[in-house]
Structure 1
């Protein structure tokens, strides 16, 4: 994505987010936009085609998103501006703005094996204490880690994996 598109994504997401007066309304709108993007995922080629008129695309949006009128109107704005291709990026940015609004931090936790619910909860609690806010984590597995965790939160990597420790030891020994 080029810088012009990144700026456009920021602006469209900020505008969409600003439509909500309350956190509850912002949550509802973000969910509505996410559902709209999912509903339109199956017609991506059609919506991106320069051979299809904007009016026909708008008709498709209205039909597919009849239950989501606010999101449909927003998608129509993107169509009019020839920025429909940015929809998925706008959805991600709207969700990030919602997290900021609600004081939620996102983290990605990678472990060698699947963590049980208690371990997941304890990890989120430890991260919440460290960062001073509610942390919601996405948990993934990577057997190559051998053991321990790798955590990405707020642009920071906390590498407590056995693989990371071995790499650090190897680097120290090589000096």
Structure 2
């Protein structure tokens, strides 16, 4: 949801800056993922939305649930979110943080869907070509989708490269209906 993203962005950026300055991007990423998961538990949602609890009580309860997973600065971050009634944004904050982290590390997760399994040599060539084209370290995951008929569908962040037969047929059908 765009509104959640807009609200979460400054918090994600602040967390990212704190993590980068402390050279702890991985630790913060893990902590935010844990906090995001905890925030999605139904009973936790109920507690966080309870009108009778103060922000301090909600933050303390939340931090207690996360246990040892949160370092002191991360616990302080949870308190800031609670004070500003933004604990519900934790899943979006975590996603945005990971995007900032990937950009900082110049890495990118790429998904390649093909109609048939691809061998290790082809995977390696694909990683090299995508790394060069995208100027990022590429982590490749593959999936087989027989509906593609042939070719490949590549998803890298918000970039989609559709080189599948299905995609080409769809474009042809669209052109013929003009």
Under a length normalisation based on structure 2, what TM-score does the superposition of the two structures give?
0.80
Q: Which runs of 5+ in 2 are unaligned?
A: none
Task: Provide the rounded CA distance (Å) in 2 between the counterparts of 1:169 and 1:97.
Answer: 38
Asked if 1:46 is matched to 2:32, the reply is no
Q: Which runs of 5+ in 1 are unaligned?
A: none
Deviates more, 1:94-103 or 1:122-131: 122-131
Summarize deviations over 1:75-105 as a string: whole Å, max 9, x none.
2211110111111000000000001111113
Q: Contact 2:112 / 2:154 at 8 angstroms: preserved in 1?
A: yes
The alpha-carbon deviation at position 19 of structure 1 amounts to 0.8
Summarize deviations over 1:12-59 as a string: whole Å, max 9, x none.
011111113458412222222212322443344224423351343223
2:101 match: 98
2:9 match: 10
Deviates more, 1:125-134 or 1:48-57: 48-57
Aligned length: 174
2:61 match: 60
Asked if 1:161 is matched to 2:160, the reply is no
The RMSD of aligned alpha carbons is 2.6
Go from structure 1 to structure 2 and tell me whether the alpha carbon gap of 1:20 and 1:118 turns closer, same or farther (over 3 Å shift): same
Summarize deviations over 1:147-174 as a string: whole Å, max 9, x none.
2211122533211111012223334455
Q: Contact 1:148 / 1:162 at 8 angstroms: preserved in 2?
A: yes
Residue 150 of structure 2, aligned match among 147, 150, 163: 147
The alpha-carbon deviation at position 7 of structure 1 amounts to 2.9
Go from structure 1 to structure 2 and tell me whether the alpha carbon gap of 1:62 and 1:171 turns closer, same or farther (over 3 Å shift): closer
Under a length normalisation based on structure 1, what TM-score does the superposition of the two structures give?
0.81
Task: Provide the rounded CA distance (Å) in 2 between the counterparts of 1:20 and 1:106.
Answer: 21
Go from structure 1 to structure 2 and tell me whether the alpha carbon gap of 1:112 and 1:90 turns closer, same or farther (over 3 Å shift): same
Match of 1:20, SS state, is: helix
Task: Provide the rounded CA distance (Å) in 2 between the counterparts of 1:57 and 1:117.
Answer: 49
